[in-house]
Amino acid sequence: MVKIYTRKGDDGTTGLWYGGRVPKSDPRPEAYGAVDEAASALGLARAACGDDDRELYDDILRMQNELFIAGAELATAPEAAGRLQPGVSKVTQEMVDELEHVIDRYMDRVDLPPKFVIPGGSELSARLDVARTAVRRAERRVVDLKLAGQLPDETVLNYLNRASDAVYAMARYADEPDPELFKGRG
């Protein structure tokens, strides 16, 4: 049997990739923890995809994998950032650019009402809206790292910003076209 507990965190600290320990309440574990929550929330959305939602399923799964890359980058102490591999443990500009294509691809097929959209037009869109808010929380935690001077490269912050926009676009695409459900607030 594989044991998943190490007891190293019993003192309230956690290890960083390539060495070092910080309190579990440190802004760095808060940031990568929020990214982990976002990936899990996207998993709930992906689980709600039906047979007709293969495009959404594939885009969500790709984003989940990319969030693991973001998490690896954020779980690394700034002094070890040079050891990260682009696209493997470090977010790249190409990943940000691809999200912009995803956003445009979905928004080209959606007529947004000139109002705030109330989540819940469909189960899938509601789950995507929950995931979007989780990605936004992760983005705020990364901003905390930036303000503390602990973010060596802002590409991960740009990625999270686009990721939340992409999830919003996916949610609007997944919404029911019924005007009553899509009405929103004025």
Report the alpha-carbon distance of residue 174 to residue 169 in Å, rounded. Answer: 9
Backbone angles phi, psi at 17, to 5 degrees: -65, 135
Report the alpha-carbon distance of residue 23 to residue 10 in Å, rounded. Answer: 11
Judge if pTM exceeds 0.85.
yes
Report the alpha-carbon distance of residue 124 to residue 182 in Å, rounded. Answer: 14
Give all domains of the chain, ordered by start, each with its CATH number.
24-176 (1.20.1200.10)
Report the alpha-carbon distance of residue 62 to residue 56 in Å, rounded. Answer: 10
Statement: residue 185 has pLDDT above 60? no
Write out pLDDT tens, residues 112-153. 877 788 888 899 999 999 999 999 999 999 999 999 999 999
Write out pLDDT tens, residues 61-70. 999 999 999 9
Determine the pLDDT at residue 111: 83
CA dihedral sign, ordered 49, 54, 56, 60: positive
